[in-house]
Structure 1
């Protein structure tokens, strides 16, 4: 399991800052991300670039806040392409986002 998926220093800082609220933050992130992932796939199926952009943007922001930068980068690329109205290899991008999230989810669940 790659330790580069999450900026551990950023997480440690958040944990110190939030104390017992840290596990609530992680749980909220995990619970909010699942519907966003599902919404990404639905938006793609409907060819709804506005919604695709919106969901990718939300997941990017919450991931970046926790220092989950590789996932945020994948979402940022999808957001950029959706904003331009054409997503290259959208199925593969969504699969990559889902795989990265699954790996991150395992790491984060160990922390709470």
Structure 2
């Protein structure tokens, strides 16, 4: 699953494009993502499709910026279901299984991003004069 969480090419492109701002913008993604996941879960508990649309849309877009494709795809499914329910004046029960997968996917994605972007990652020495290898 971890190999599917982050598209490394997109992440590398974001890092290159954002340069010195990368870590700061990644922090915003973390903060916004936590808020979006909470809002989506609350909307699901309240059976409120309208309240689900914007946080799912936001999470989808921000996830794609960092190559978090699995998370973005999940948010997109939730957004699509919610929009359909708004149009049909229905409750978003169909989104339940996707919302249930959202937090674990978000948490795993953040862990992977932290591992891939942390300049202080644990290093394993390979011997005198050799470059350390990331664990």
Q: Tell me the TM-score normalised to structure 2 length.
A: 0.76
Q: Which of residues 89, 107, 112 is equivalent to 1:102?
A: 107
Q: Deviations over 1:72-101 (max 9, x none)?
A: 111111111111114344332112111111
SS in 2 for 1:26: helix
Residues 1:9 and 2:14 are matched in the alignment: no
Structure 1 consecutive aligned stretches of length 4 or more whose deviation exceeds 4 Å: none
C-alpha separation in 2, matches of 1:87 and 1:78: 9
Aligned residues: 112
Question: Which of structures 1 and 2 has the larger relative contact order (alpha carbons within 8 angstroms, sep 6+)?
Answer: 1
Instruction: Identify the residue that residue 95 of structure 2 maps to in structure 1.
Output: 90
SS in 1 for 2:110: helix
How far apart are residue 13 of structure 1 and its match?
A: 1.2
Q: Where in structure 1 are there 5+ consecutive unaligned residues?
A: none
Q: 1:7·1:69 contact (CA, 8 Å) conserved in 2?
A: yes
After TM superposition, the structure 1 = structure 2 runs for residues 13-92 of structure 1, keeping only pairs within 5 Å, are 13-85=13-85, 86-92=91-97
Q: Where in structure 2 are there 5+ consecutive unaligned residues?
A: 86-90, 119-135
Q: 2:47·2:92 contact (CA, 8 Å) conserved in 1?
A: no
Cα root mean square deviation, aligned: 1.5
Q: 1:81·1:88 contact (CA, 8 Å) conserved in 2?
A: no
Q: Tell me the TM-score normalised to structure 1 length.
A: 0.90
Larger CA Rg, structure 1 vs 2: 2
How far apart are residue 67 of structure 1 and its match?
A: 1.4
How far apart are residue 38 of structure 1 and its match?
A: 0.6
